[in-house]
């Protein structure tokens, strides 16, 4: 029997490599492509800010246009998802709901509720994995039912699984055309003759930001959508030499254009298929004499993503410290004022404040910039919980992701996964080594743009006359540093040492020093660890 199907888009906002959408097309005589914009659900489960709202709406509009080219459209229905499903399943005589399988607890709960609703109302539910390279459950099963807690162990399990499933074929207009040939699978709903209501597409159009009372000024250089994501992907893959030699630690955190791929927002929202990217990289590597290897290669970065997905899928309370069995339990300071200064780029350290400004303005920062501001907030200088930083990133980052965001914050705070806690990033020298002229700071902190390069990272060391000449008085136009770098970092280093000694068993759960992408295969020209050993970090008085 052919179904009347609602295909429920959640994160897979694309038409390429969308296995569950293809399965829906092949099993249905009529299909309604639906996105339920449940603002209460999105706000409570993902805490998305204005930039992410824009990116989401742009992605939905792009999906709608791409469906339109194939003879269909996207129906965006606003409201509580269970109420909407109950109403439209009856209204449209639905016999099947298809959706992408996700591993976050809130998405799992949603799918369980839909399964329950299906049993009650008499429709079938089909879900398939498309957001990750592997079905994480297969990895857990091969590891005895628990997640592999080190990257090395994780790669071993993958070697037993083999390569990920290959991407499914691209959809065509023929998939969305109804066939009269009984031997062929019914192709889908033709809106011109199948629509339950002639103004259905207009009634359920993609809302504008103003409709959701989102500021129109909150626009990022990253435009959402599959079309934009594929264009960016192709631009990177045309330079095969760059692809084969890519090593993430050698990318530059304060370059004015991204020195990495900048594709993470598109993977996070499902505008790009991670499996498609994996196999495109495999083809390029196969043709090269030499190429970089995991964990620092581009493919290695995809596997890091998969590693955090797997651990998160089977770790209780993964996004919080309390009740999280792999996370060190630390008595972090609670200081709302200091947290606010960090979040609003008022720390008094130009390198840190420039990063936080870029984050707020654009919704993206380089991974090493993330290292710097996360270390500053947590174990480095302010000793404030990684959960607070995770919430800020969740709100502001376009690529914020339940698993990766929490995993990275545990990593960067040395609460789990990362164990070289003695490396504390200097908020002055770390940025200076790759951008000695301070062009990045001048762009994102224009109040400091007239300082000579020798002062741009430490403007408080300029004389009063030099500050007046630069048009910025420290303590008046731009704040003094909120902490003394050496005193704060030395104090926190002792705190962390004590915590790790007291909780040695927990620390060992995720310990694998060789997994550090800053150390494996590639040594940075001037690591912050060496800076610390040579004691060249200056105080901030």
**Could you report the per-residue pLDDT of 286-297, keeping only the tens digit for each?**
887 777 666 678
Nearest to 432 by CA among 462, 458, 457: 457
Per-residue model confidence (pLDDT) at position 41: 84
> What's the whole-number mean pLDDT along residues 439-457?
97
Fold of 132-168+227-314: 1.25.40
Per-residue model confidence (pLDDT) at position 537: 33
Per-residue model confidence (pLDDT) at position 113: 97
> What is the band of 77 on the pLDDT scale with cuts at 50, 70, 90?
very high
Query: In this model, does residue 520 exceed pLDDT 50?
Result: no
> What is the band of 184 on the pLDDT scale with cuts at 50, 70, 90?
very low
Query: In this model, does residue 377 exceed pLDDT 80?
Result: yes
Flag the least confident range among 8-12, 52-56, 240-244, 416-420: 240-244
Q: Which residues pair with 44 in a beta bridge?
A: none
Q: Which residues pair with 7 in a beta bridge?
A: 33, 98
Question: What are 317's two structure tokens?
Answer: 């309370």
Q: Is it true that domain 336-534 has CATH number 1.10.579.10?
A: yes
What's 36's DSSP letter?
E
Per-residue model confidence (pLDDT) at position 294: 66
Tell me how far CA of residue 529 lies from CA of 42, 381, 423, 523, in angstroms.
Answer: 40, 16, 5, 11
Question: CA triplet 532, 533, 534: central angle to 5 degrees?
Answer: 90
Nearest to 93 by CA among 31, 25, 186: 31
**Cβ atoms 170, 19 nearer than 8 A:** no
Question: What are 445's two structure tokens?
Answer: 């902190």
Q: Which residues pair with 34 in a beta bridge?
A: 8, 75
Task: Specify the pTM.
Answer: 0.90
DSSP alpha helix (H) spans, 195-273: 200-203, 226-237, 240-245, 264-269
- Which sequence spans correspond to the domains of the chain? 1-130, 132-168+227-314, 336-534
Per-residue model confidence (pLDDT) at position 522: 34
Question: In 3-state terms, what secondary structure has residue 10?
Answer: coil
Query: In this model, does residue 388 exceed pLDDT 60?
Result: yes
Burial class (CB within 10 angstroms; exposed 0-12, middle 13-18, buried 19+) of 210: exposed
Residue 458: partners with Cβ closer than 8 Å, 6 or more residues away: 350, 428, 538, 540
Cα(526)–Cα(9) distance, rounded to whole angstroms? 46
Nearest to 81 by CA among 179, 9, 185: 9
> What's the whole-number mean pLDDT along residues 151-166?
95
Query: In this model, does residue 521 exceed pLDDT 60?
Result: no
Q: Which residues pair with 474 in a beta bridge?
A: 478
Per-residue model confidence (pLDDT) at position 17: 98
Per-residue model confidence (pLDDT) at position 353: 98
Nearest to 395 by CA among 432, 433, 344: 344
**Could you report the per-residue pLDDT of 404-432, keeping only the tens digit for each?**
999 999 999 999 999 899 999 999 999 99
Per-residue model confidence (pLDDT) at position 198: 47
Question: In 3-state terms, what secondary structure has residue 140?
Answer: helix
- CB-CB neighbours of 503 under 10 Å: 15
Nearest to 465 by CA among 454, 457, 475, 473: 473
> What's the whole-number mean pLDDT along residues 196-202?
66
Q: Is it true that domain 1-130 has CATH number 3.40.50.620?
A: yes
- CB-CB neighbours of 64 under 10 Å: 21
Per-residue model confidence (pLDDT) at position 247: 62
**Could you report the per-residue pLDDT of 296-324, keeping only the tens digit for each?**
788 888 999 999 999 999 999 999 999 99
Flag the least confident range among 35-39, 126-130, 131-135, 526-530: 526-530
Positive or negative: CA dihedral 252, 256, 261, 264: positive
């Amino acid at each position: 029997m052919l179904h009347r199907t609602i295909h429920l888009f959640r994160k897979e906002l694309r038409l390429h490599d969308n296995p569950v959408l293809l399965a829906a097309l092949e099993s249905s005589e009529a299909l309604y492509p639906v996105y339920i914009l449940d603002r209460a659900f999105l706000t409570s489960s993902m805490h998305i800010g204005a930039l992410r709202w824009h990116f989401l709406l742009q992605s939905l509009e792009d999906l709608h246009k791409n469906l339109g080219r194939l003879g269909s459209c996207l129906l965006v229905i606003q409201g509580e998802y269970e109420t909407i499903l109950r109403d439209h399943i009856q209204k449209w005589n639905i016999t099947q709901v298809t959706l992408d399988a996700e591993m976050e607890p809130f998405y799992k709960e949603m799918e369980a509720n839909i399964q329950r609703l299906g049993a009650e109302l008499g429709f079938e539910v089909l879900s398939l994995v498309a957001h990750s390279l592997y079905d994480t459950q297969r990895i857990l099963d091969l590891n005895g039912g628990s997640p592999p807690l080190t990257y090395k162990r994780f790669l071993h399990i993958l070697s037993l699984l083999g390569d990920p499933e290959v991407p499914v074929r691209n959809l065509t207009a023929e998939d969305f055309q109804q066939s009269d040939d009984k031997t062929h699978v019914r192709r889908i709903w033709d809106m011109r003759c199948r629509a339950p209501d002639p103004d259905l597409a207009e009634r359920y159009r993609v809302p504008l930001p103003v409709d959701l009372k989102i500021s129109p000024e909150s626009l990022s250089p990253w435009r959402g959508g599959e079309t934009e994501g594929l264009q960016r992907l192709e631009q990177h893959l045309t330079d095969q030499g760059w692809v084969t030699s890519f090593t993430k630690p050698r990318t530059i955190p304060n370059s004015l254009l991204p020195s990495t791929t900048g594709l993470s927002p598109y993977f996070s929202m499902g505008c790009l298929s991670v499996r498609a990217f994996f196999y495109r990289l495999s083809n390029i590597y196969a043709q090269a004499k030499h190429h970089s290897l995991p964990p620092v290669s581009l493919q290695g970065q995809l596997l890091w993503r998969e590693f955090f997905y797997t651990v998160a899928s089977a770790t209780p309370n993964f996004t919080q410290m309390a009740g999280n069995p792999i996370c060190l339990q630390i008595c972090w300071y609670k200081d709302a004022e200091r947290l606010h200064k960090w979040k609003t780029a008022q720390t008094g350290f130009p390198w840190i404040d420039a990063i936080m400004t870029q984050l707020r303005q654009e919704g993206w920062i380089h991974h090493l910039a993330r290292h710097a501001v996360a270390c500053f907030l947590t174990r480095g200088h302010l000793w404030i919980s990684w959960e607070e930083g995770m919430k800020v990133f969740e709100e502001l980052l376009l690529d914020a992701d339940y698993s990766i965001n929490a995993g990275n914050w545990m990593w960067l705070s040395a609460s789990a996964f990362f164990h070289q806690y003695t490396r504390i990033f200097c908020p002055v020298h770390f940025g200076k080594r790759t951008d000695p002229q301070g062009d990045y700071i001048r762009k994102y902190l224009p109040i400091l743009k007239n300082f000579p390069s020798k002062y741009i990272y430490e403007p408080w060391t300029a004389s009063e006359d030099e500050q007046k000449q630069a048009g910025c008085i420290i303590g008046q136009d731009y704040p003094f540093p909120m902490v003394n770098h050496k005193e704060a970092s030395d104090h926190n280093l002792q705190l962390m040492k004590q915590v790790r000694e007291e909780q040695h068993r927990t620390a060992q759960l995720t310990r694998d020093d060789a997994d550090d992408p800053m150390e494996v295969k590639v040594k940075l020209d001037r690591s912050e660890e060496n800076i610390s050993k040579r004691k060249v970090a200056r105080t901030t008085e």
